């Protein structure tokens, strides 16, 4: 465990998702002890579990809580319902428990419930008004976690654009985020891109390995060594096309499974270890994306534990850094000296063959448009 603790102590602002879809997970007080020992400073949960909220009291750990999808339409229709939820579920624990964010729904805009989509931003506005009524709006931000599927194009990053179906909702969401100084949250998983086409997608690029050549956006000439960071910049470009290029983009979920079914390419312990290790190293160095190099990217890893009751393929139950008995699923492989700087840490490269990922962009090199240049210049200011 020492190796993992060493790097996490260097990444105090790192976030992690603490899911609870399991029948064998440790009690919340033990989980909080683990998180505190690792000096993880930010945690996201998927409800307002009273036992969890109580356990985090006095720890100083920042907590994002979640409004489930089924409550969103009611909150949109009634400001009093938003106030009631906040008063009953969050206010009793605040500020001893440092709730700093509320995620309203999860990946709503890529679902098929049109009423839910139309209700999301109105619910967020009512919830923000309730926070203001209780004097909490200066401390708690309201946003929603989006799937990367809200983008019609994400590759190369400068071509990022929202889908036609999502764009009207995105304009409303981005306006709200600007009005309330809240971030845009994206759930981004390079693993899925690799799994879907392992013969064409570079494993090194998907794993954010810094040792490979990297991908160059032909329009901006920015170089990317991380697919995740490229995906984030694609969201920033998409928001800029709607006139909201200054909204910060944070990664609310990202991770890599350590185990999968036969058709789930790349779901291995080694790849999971490498992916999370690379992100931890970038966190230590305070690295931003190529488009926003001076703005450290806020990342929440998924997930703290393997969760045995999650439905779907085997990978869904194997994203955790830890087993439910609190033993490590894998060691992230860093040296044991907790005071070591990022520059002195030795990075192991992926055993997969290297490939110049710039070839992946070759077919997309069109004539550089004035619009792309203007957007890039504005975003880099």
Measured N-to-C along each axis, helices 269-285 and 2-10 cross at an angle, to the nearest 10 degrees, of: 30
**Is 62 part of the annotated catalytic residue set?**
no
Query: Phi and psi of 151, rounded to 5°?
Result: -95, 130
- The contacts of residue 261 (CB under 8 Å, 6+ apart) are 267, 313, 314, 315
Q: How far apart are CA 27 and CA 367, in angstroms?
A: 57
Structural contact between residues 225 and 184, judged by C-beta atoms closer than 8 angstroms: no
**Three-point CA angle 142, 146, 147, nearest 5°:** 165
Residue tagged 């045995």 (tokens):
308
Q: How far apart are the first and last CA of the chain?
A: 42
Q: Is 114 known to be catalytic?
A: no
Pair of tokens at residue 123: 């619910």
Select from 179, 170, 118 the least CA-distant residue to 146: 170
The residue from 107, 264, 287, 307 that is catalytic is 107
CA dihedral of residues 228, 230, 231, 234 (deg, nearest 10): 160
One of 62, 253, 264, 287 is an active-site residue; which one? 253
Active site residues: 107, 253
């Amino acid at each position: 465990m020492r190796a993992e603790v060493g790097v996490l102590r260097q990444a105090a602002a790192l976030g992690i998702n603490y899911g609870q879809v399991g029948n064998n997970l440790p009690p919340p007080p033990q989980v909080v002890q683990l998180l505190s020992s690792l000096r993880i400073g930010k945690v996201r949960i998927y409800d307002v579990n009273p036992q969890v909220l109580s356990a985090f009291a006095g720890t100083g750990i920042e907590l994002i809580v979640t409004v489930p999808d089924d409550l969103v339409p009611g909150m949109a229709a009634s400001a009093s319902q938003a106030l009631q939820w906040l008063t009953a579920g969050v206010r009793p624990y605040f500020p001893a428990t440092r709730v700093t964010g509320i995620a309203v729904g999860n990946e709503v805009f890529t679902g098929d419930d049109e009423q839910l989509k139309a209700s999301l931003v109105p619910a967020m506005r009512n919830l923000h008004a309730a926070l203001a009524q209780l004097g909490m709006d200066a401390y708690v931000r309201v946003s929603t976690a989006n799937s990367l599927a809200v983008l019609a194009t994400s590759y190369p990053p400068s071509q990022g654009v929202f889908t036609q179906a999502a764009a009207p909702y995105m304009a409303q969401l981005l306006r709200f985020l600007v009005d309330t100084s809240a971030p845009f949250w994206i759930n981004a998983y390079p693993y899925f891109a690799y799994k879907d086409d392992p013969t064409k997608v570079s494993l090194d690029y998907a794993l954010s390995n810094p040792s490979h050549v990297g991908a160059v956006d032909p329009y901006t000439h920015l170089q990317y060594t991380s697919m995740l960071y490229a995906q984030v910049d694609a969201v920033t470009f998409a928001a800029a096309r709607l006139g909201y290029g200054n909204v910060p983009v944070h990664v609310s979920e990202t991770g890599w499974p350590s185990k999968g079914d036969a058709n789930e390419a790349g779901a291995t312990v080694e790849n999971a270890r490498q992916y999370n290790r690379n992100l931890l190293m970038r966190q230590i160095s305070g690295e931003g994306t190529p488009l926003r190099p001076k703005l450290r990217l806020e990342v929440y890893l998924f997930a703290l534990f393997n969760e045995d009751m999650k439905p779907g393929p085997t990978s869904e139950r194997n994203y955790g850094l830890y087993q439910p008995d609190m033993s490590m699923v894998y060691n992230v492989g860093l040296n044991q000296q907790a005071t070591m700087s990022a520059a002195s840490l030795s990075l192991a490269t992926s055993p997969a063959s290297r490939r110049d990922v710039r070839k992946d962009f070759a077919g997309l090199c069109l004539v550089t448009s004035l619009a792309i240049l203007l957007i890039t210049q504005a975003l880099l200011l």
